[in-house]
Amino acid sequence: MADSTRGIHLTPEEVLRCIHNSTVGGSEKENCSARDHGKVPWLSTVYICSRYSGKDDDEVKRNVRQAQLFSRFAIKQRVVPVAPHLMYPGFLDDRIPKERRIGQLCGKWLLTSCDELWVFWMDGLSSGMLEEINTAVKTGVKIRFFNGHHLLEEEDRLRELMDPMGEKEIGKEGVR
């Protein structure tokens, strides 16, 4: 096994084997319990902190899409993103204050088990984001800030590079 702070790169199959061995047992269990032993540093978990709520459905959809892109960025950085605002709205209604609060409390609990909080700064911080930052400070979770606008611009440039002919996505409705 390589140094715990440098260049360990596993294939997806190796990651799945590690996960399987750490839950089922096996000869490689000691080598694959990444977070506990620091042997696979890119398996650290990062909590994705970005806006969710919005003044209307279109703004919420835009914020969800941004959170998805920020989570994808985290994957590209070889970390495991934790984005409760992409999960809990699937079964909790953010428009109902009690359900929103339950989702926030569950998210805070997840945050305390993460290695880092990644704050994606766009147009200021929402009250929910401020709560997450305060939780990270109180519990000693490392905080990193990212320029969300820059990452989204980069994502757009990558899309253009991948679609040099200007072809559009073809879906059920035809060319878009």
Q: Which of 40-44, 99-103, 112-116 has the lowest mean pLDDT?
A: 40-44
Question: For residues 66 and 51, is the Cβ–Cβ distance under 8 A?
Answer: yes
**DSSP code for 54:** -
Taking only Cα atoms into account, the Rg of the chain, rounded to an integer number of angstroms, comes to 19
User: What is the distance between the alpha carbons of residues 116 and 120, in angstroms, rounded to a whole number?
Assistant: 13
Distance CA 21, CA 85 (A): 30
Domains of the chain: 1-40 (no CATH), 44-160 (3.40.50.450)
Asked whether 83 and 120 are in contact (CB, 8 A), the reply is: no
Q: What is the mean pLDDT of residues 150-158?
A: 69
CA distances from 96 to 29, 49, 50 (A): 43, 21, 20
pLDDT category at 6 given cuts 50, 70, 90 is very low
Q: What is the pLDDT of residues 80-102, one digit of tens each?
A: 999 999 999 999 998 899 998 99
